Amino acid sequence: MYIRHCLSAAASLLLLLSSSSLIAESPAERARAEVEAAIHLESDLEAGRKSFMICTVCHRPEGWGTEDGIYPQIAGQLPGVIIKQLADIRARNRDNPTMLPFTSPQLLGGVQEIANVAAYISQLPMAPVNGVGPGIDLALGEQLYKDNCVDCHGDQGQGDEEDHIPLIQGQHYHYLLRQFQWIKMGKRRNADQKMVKQIQRFSGRDISAVLDYASRLKPPVEKLATPNWQNPDFPNYYRATPVPPRRHR
């Protein structure tokens, strides 16, 4: 009896130690481990479509987000980037209180589900029209982009799968603007430290110019949806409002 008691006490102690070592892991480390695990898995598109159901509430079945930039376009994003953002958000290495509950293991699942939903989203065709900036400073924007962004994000804003560098072509201007400002001021904790350094001397005019230019980088035709395309995987999705008409800027 006594021995059994000691054994179970030792077992609880072990459990406590192992779980406290988990807690001691930083959010960034937890996210990195999850990315490493998810990235090498074979993905299942049909399972990814099912997981995507909860995401359509905000990102809509097309994954195009909104031109006002409140919701980003996620369709066509590189799978490794989607995996990293999901892992960062649920490890709280990137703050996104609106989306956080939907990324929980209970609702989304584990690394396999992350890999599946990332694969599904990345193959969705992108919005034929996206929100762009005011268009008044594009020459400056182009110069700044070439001098400061091409090395990482690519000449067409296509990103880099290997290094988890986001594709930014075709992204809504206002979303780019918000993320860029958060990255610059350190609010987006998962940011790339080299990028943070690179953009420190950017003025307000520089920021708006370079992102206006970036928002006008067009994804290649084969990545774009035809006008008014609706995702046939979600035939019963109720659209309370029709797709808003294009605003002229």
Smallest separation, CB 142 to ligand HEC (Å)? 12
Q: Amino acid identity of 122?
A: S
With the C-alpha atoms ordered 129, 132, 136, 139, is the resulting torsion angle positive or negative? Answer: negative
3-state secondary structure of 23: helix
Q: Which C-beta is closer to ligand HEC: that of 12 or that of 155? A: 155
Sites for ligand HEC among residues 107-126 (CB under 6 A): 108, 117
Q: How far is residue 143's CA from residue 149's CA, in Å, rounded to a whole number? A: 10
**135-164 binders of ligand HEC (CB under 6 A):** 148-149, 151-153, 164
Using CB under 6 A, which residues numbered 171 to 230 contact ligand HEC?
176, 178-180, 190-192, 194-195, 198-199, 210-211, 214
Query: Minimal distance in Å, beta carbon 11 to ligand HEC?
Result: 36
State the number of CA atoms in the 13 A half-sphere of 179 facing the CB: 22
Neighbours of 212 (CB within 10 A): 23
CA distance 108 to 189: 23
User: Is residue 39 close enough to count as binding ligand HEC by CB under 6 A?
Assistant: no
Sign of CA dihedral 45, 223, 87, 69: negative
Among 57, 139, 221, 240, binds ligand HEC (CB under 6 A): 57
Q: Which residues pair with 126 in a beta bridge?
A: 224
The residue among 26 and 248 lying less far from ligand HEC, judged by its C-beta, is 26
Q: Which is nearer to ligand HEC, 175 or 225 (CB)?
A: 175
Q: Judged by CB, which is closer to ligand HEC: 6, or 107?
A: 107
What whole-number distance in Å separates Cα of residue 171 and Cα of residue 127?
9
Nearer to ligand HEC, 115 or 176 (CB): 176
Closest CA to 234 of 86, 76, 51: 51
Q: Which residues make up the interface to ligand HEC (CB under 6 A)?
A: 54-55, 57-59, 71-72, 74, 77, 82, 84-86, 96, 98-99, 102-103, 108, 117, 148-149, 151-153, 164-166, 168, 176, 178-180, 190-192, 194-195, 198-199, 210-211, 214
